[in-house]
Amino acid sequence: MTYNFDPDRWYDNEYSLLEQALKQGRMTPAEFDCRVEALSGKYDDMVARLDGTYQLPEQSK
């Protein structure tokens, strides 16, 4: 199984959207910081799930 998903590119795209909103005045610097922190948390969780190889669950005998 292969993944066509690039978490780094996803993060960069999402961060760019937040930067745009900040520059356009659609959010405050405090909101920006809060949303970047949440975005980073989502990114870390995602990378943790994608990291490693797939393993079959052990079957009980």
In this prediction, residue 12 carries a pLDDT of 97
27 in a structural domain: yes
In this prediction, residue 48 carries a pLDDT of 83
38 in a structural domain: yes
In this prediction, residue 3 carries a pLDDT of 62
CB 11 within 8 A of CB 44: no
Mean pLDDT per block of 10 residues along the chain (61 residues) reads 77 98 98 98 88 67 58
How many domains is the chain built from?
A: 1
56 in a structural domain: no
55 in a structural domain: no
In this prediction, residue 47 carries a pLDDT of 84
SS3 60: coil
Which structural domain range is residue 22 located in?
7-49
CB 30 within 8 A of CB 13: no
In this prediction, residue 18 carries a pLDDT of 98
In this prediction, residue 56 carries a pLDDT of 67
2 in a structural domain: no
43 in a structural domain: yes
